[in-house]
Structure 1
Amino acid sequence: MSVHSPALQNRPLFLIAGLLFLSALMRFSLHADDAWAFAQPSPKEQPEEVQERALNFCAQNGEPEALILALEEKRQRLAQQEDALRTQELVQKISIARIKDQLKELEAAETALSDMIARAELAAEKDVSQLIAVYSAMKPKQAALLFEEMDATFASGFLGLMKPRIAADIMADLSPEKAYALSVLLAGRNASVPSR
């Protein structure tokens, strides 16, 4: 009586099972590309038409419908993601355009404000120049009466811009206290300016 080992007895079964598996794998791989191609819609097709075509293909080729449906669902998800990305990109472009428009408006407002400040400074300088001309044309005693009533800082500003001879005549007619206060302010006017 000959004794065969159990591994040798099961060898034909393993061989048959392996061949069946390879056959199924080959059939699946041959039709998977066709199934994917059928699952892709033409530009004019609606998802329902694609699904119907896929089901017909499965029925003709004996492939499982679940594979085709899964591929179609995946395609639809990808299409939705693509739409969401397009929408997000559009929103970003609109936001960037709005920001650019706002920057242009801010730049225009800044330019207008700079022009307005320049005009105001020019007008103020013109007004000060005119007042200096008026005070310089007055008799020193009359101008001294006005300077006596002015704030010392304000008065020293005018005196500093006048011709030295005219400013000296006005200060000579001021009270000693006011003349001293104005002298201190005039002397310290440029003290904070760096020497270098």
Structure 2
Amino acid sequence: MRRSALMMLTLAFGLPAGAAIWQGADLSRFFAASASSGDLLSGCSDVPEAVALATELRDRALRIERYMEVLDTRKAEIAKAEAALRARATELSQQKSGIQSRRTGASQAVREDIDRLVAVYDQMKPAEAAAVLTNLPPDFAAEILMRVQPETGARIIASVEPRQAALLTAQMGARSVRKD
């Protein structure tokens, strides 16, 4: 009989609690209802230490609750900031890839233009090419001379005035040193 009464009590209290756990309910309402501060002090209101302890526990609980609210607010702010940073990082990454592709395209276009100029100078007579190159900026003329066929470049330099040939040769050497 005692055993069956104990089983009945277990079922009476255990089933609702088990169902609440199964459904993911907040169990603090069960415990809060049974252990409110008024209930705790029901027989101890004449003991000042008990009243002080209950008051301090209530104050601590309120502070903890406020801290938890502040933490939740900060977590939300941090999550929002992280999302904004991710979005900005993605945007910057896209801009960077766009700039790199434009830069690559521009570099390719410049290389193609220089290759066309080199082909033109390769086809010119050395004396005519020398006359044109002496009127170009020395660094640009040196770039063209570095890219033409070596035999063509030698004939062009031979057709240039010696002072200008020395300047172009120095520019070509300086260009080679800068590349290394």
Indicate how the Cα distance of structure 1 residues 109 and 192 shifts in structure 2: closer, same or farther if over 3 A, else same: closer
Which structure's CA Rg is the greater one?
Answer: 1
Does residue 73 (structure 1) correspond to residue 59 (structure 2)? The answer is yes
Counting matched residue pairs gives: 147
- Equivalent-residue separation in structure 2 for 1:100 and 1:180 (angstroms): 57
Match of 2:88 among 102, 117, 123: 102
- Please list, as runs of the form range in 1=range in 2, the aligned pairs for 1:1-196 lying within 5 A after superposition: 42=29, 54-55=37-38, 58=41, 60-64=42-46, 66-67=51-52, 68-191=54-177
C-alpha deviation, 1:162, in angstroms: 0.1
C-alpha deviation, 1:163, in angstroms: 0.5
- Equivalent-residue separation in structure 2 for 1:143 and 1:88 (angstroms): 72
C-alpha deviation, 1:191, in angstroms: 4.2
Give ranges in structure 2 of 5+ residues lacking alignment. 1-27
- Equivalent-residue separation in structure 2 for 1:56 and 1:175 (angstroms): 111
Letter in 1 for 2:29: S
Query: Does the 8 Å CA contact 2:118/2:147 hold for their aligned counterparts?
Result: yes
Indicate how the Cα distance of structure 1 residues 56 and 188 shifts in structure 2: closer, same or farther if over 3 A, else same: closer
Indicate how the Cα distance of structure 1 residues 160 and 117 shifts in structure 2: closer, same or farther if over 3 A, else same: same
Q: Secondary structure at the match of 1:159?
A: helix
Letter in 2 for 1:125: R
Query: Does the 8 Å CA contact 2:157/2:165 hold for their aligned counterparts?
Result: yes
Give the stretch that moved more between structures: 109-118 or 64-73. Answer: 64-73
TM-score where L is the length of structure 2: 0.67
Query: Does the 8 Å CA contact 2:44/2:51 hold for their aligned counterparts?
Result: no
Q: Secondary structure at the match of 2:29?
A: coil
TM-score where L is the length of structure 1: 0.62
Which residue number corresponds to residue 19 of structure 2?
none
Q: Secondary structure at the match of 2:45?
A: coil
Q: Secondary structure at the match of 2:176?
A: coil
C-alpha deviation, 1:124, in angstroms: 0.6
- Equivalent-residue separation in structure 2 for 1:136 and 1:93 (angstroms): 63
Indicate how the Cα distance of structure 1 residues 90 and 188 shifts in structure 2: closer, same or farther if over 3 A, else same: closer
C-alpha deviation, 1:128, in angstroms: 0.3
Q: Report Cα offsets for 1:1-42 as digits up to 9, x if no partner.
A: xxxxxxxxxxxxxxxxxxxxxxxxxxxxxxxxxxxxxxxx73
